[in-house]
Chains A and B, each alone.
Chain A
């Protein structure tokens, strides 16, 4: 698959949140505004791409050659956690003001389905190193798209008088569900015809 195809697939067609249903918790749970959204997405994209690369390395040099595929889950979980911790330390040293302003809980990003899920998808897809990196970035991009749209919708909902039993998270989930239906407009047939057509 070409790099452009990977980008479009993992950000639109198989959107991490709206199609694969990974990373729902940060998308509907975190109450931040737009700035926090941008920060969280950037951190997530970075973590996803680095983790995908690390997973590729683990898969290619450790798991497959030594026949240790059954250790994939522990290896990937620890790799993701390790990278998240590393990023956290680096970010705290390098850009502490940014972290405070954006309020990014990096630990939260590590321990959610999204990063691990992306890593698993990338590992099973048989991609090259560069492609794995791009998969992670594209997935992060898709996460950014979903999170941004849902945050804007959430901000609009905050000033409306909604039914009490649905206020807050239930309505965010319902909005995400409706958004997921809308995003089904981007399907594989559409993508493949787009590439053929040009």
Chain B
């Protein structure tokens, strides 16, 4: 499996959730409301970029744990990812405590997903560190993060609209944050908000992505 080669690769062609099928747990679990998906994606992108940046800086200074050995490599990745995740959790808990509660135990799992995605982003980067290398690797990471966010947002839009009849966004000023959607909000299909709904949407998203790829491939051929 090749890693993404361009920035746009992570968004569509190599979308982490729909195509490469990693990070499935938050994609199914935290997509009951749009705002949960938004915060989760924001957290993941932040942690991923920060971790990647730190690793690149470490590599630039040739510190141990920056690609010189397998075990130290692994440990530094784990440590960095989990520390940044903990920071994100603290900040979220301080500024948006309701949201923090909404994400629950899935916020710390950003660390785990970040580790997996970072492995994908950092692949094939044995070249010596430098601004170009840092830029490229951050670009890959942001592409993957954006792809993750896109998948989560799509799933959460479907699940929340059909399953609760609302779309929950950030409360700004007088806007409470919840949009009620027309007729559906009278009798939403609540089953979509439950665990099964998440898995179903995820499955159909992956299938749809494959369908799109097939159509595009047929066009090019």
Q: Does A77 lie within 8 Å of B196, measured CB to CB?
A: no
User: Which partner residue on chain B sits nearest A19 by CB separation?
Assistant: B195
Whether A180 touches B109, Cβ cut-off 8 Å, given contacts A72-B86, A77-B82, A170-B204, is no
Q: Does B199 lie within 8 Å of A24, measured CB to CB?
A: yes
User: Which partner residue on chain A sits nearest B195 by CB separation?
Assistant: A180
| Chain A positions within 8 Å of B78 at CB level | 77-78, 81
- Identify the stretch in B58-66, B172-180, B207-215 within 8 Å (CB) of chain A at 4 or more residues: B207-215
| Chain B positions within 8 Å of A78 at CB level | 75, 78-79, 82
| Chain B positions within 8 Å of A116 at CB level | 108-109, 111-112
* Choice from A18, A114, A120, A170 contacting B195 with Cβ under 8 Å: A18
User: Which partner residue on chain B sits nearest A181 by CB separation?
Assistant: B196
Residue B189 lies at the interface, judged by CB distance under 8 Å to chain A: no
With A and B bound together, what is the CA distance between A174 and B113 in angstroms?
22
Q: Does A181 lie within 8 Å of B203, measured CB to CB?
A: no
* Choice from B25, B90, B108 contacting A120 with Cβ under 8 Å: B108
Whether A177 touches B197, Cβ cut-off 8 Å, given contacts A74-B86, A112-B112, is yes
Q: Does A180 lie within 8 Å of B196, measured CB to CB?
A: yes
Which positions 94-125 of chain B face chain A at CB distance < 8 Å?
105-106, 108-109, 111-113, 115-116
Contact with B along A144-166 (1 / 0, CB 8 A): 00000000000000000000111
User: Which partner residue on chain B sits nearest A78 by CB separation?
Assistant: B78
| Chain B positions within 8 Å of A70 at CB level | 86, 89-90
Residue A117 lies at the interface, judged by CB distance under 8 Å to chain B: yes
Q: Does B207 lie within 8 Å of A117, measured CB to CB?
A: no
* Choice from A74, A169, A176 contacting B82 with Cβ under 8 Å: A74
With A and B bound together, what is the CA distance between A18 and B202 in angstroms?
14
Residue A137 lies at the interface, judged by CB distance under 8 Å to chain B: no
| Chain B positions within 8 Å of A77 at CB level | 78, 81-82, 108, 111-112
* Choice from A113, A124, A180, A181 contacting B25 with Cβ under 8 Å: A113
Q: Does A117 lie within 8 Å of B86, measured CB to CB?
A: no
Q: Does B82 lie within 8 Å of A73, measured CB to CB?
A: yes
**Count, A-B residue pairs, CB within 8 A:** 133
Which positions 31-71 of chain A face chain B at CB distance < 8 Å?
70-71
Q: Does B89 lie within 8 Å of A181, measured CB to CB?
A: no
Whether A21 touches B204, Cβ cut-off 8 Å, given contacts A70-B86, A116-B108, is no
* Choice from B81, B108, B116, B206 contacting A72 with Cβ under 8 Å: B108
With A and B bound together, what is the CA distance between A176 and B106 in angstroms?
20
Contact with A along B26-55 (1 / 0, CB 8 A): 101100000000000000000000000000
| Chain A positions within 8 Å of B79 at CB level | 74, 78
Residue B129 lies at the interface, judged by CB distance under 8 Å to chain A: no
| Chain A positions within 8 Å of B86 at CB level | 70-74
Contact with B along A71-89 (1 / 0, CB 8 A): 1111011100100000000
Residue A99 lies at the interface, judged by CB distance under 8 Å to chain B: no
Q: Does B108 lie within 8 Å of A21, measured CB to CB?
A: no
Contact with A along B73-94 (1 / 0, CB 8 A): 0110011011101100110000
Q: Does A184 lie within 8 Å of B81, measured CB to CB?
A: no
With A and B bound together, what is the CA distance between A166 and B207 in angstroms?
5
Q: Does A73 lie within 8 Å of B108, measured CB to CB?
A: yes
* Choice from B113, B194, B206 contacting A113 with Cβ under 8 Å: B113
* Choice from A24, A76, A171 contacting B24 with Cβ under 8 Å: A24
Q: Which 5 A-B pairs give the minimum distances between C-beta atoms?
A: A173-B203, A177-B199, A170-B207, A177-B200, A180-B196
Would you mind naming 23 contact pairs between A and B with Cβ atoms under 8 Å apart?
A22-B29, A24-B25, A24-B28, A24-B199, A25-B24, A29-B21, A74-B79, A77-B78, A77-B82, A81-B75, A81-B78, A112-B25, A113-B109, A116-B109, A117-B25, A124-B105, A165-B214, A170-B206, A171-B207, A174-B203, A177-B199, A180-B194, A180-B196
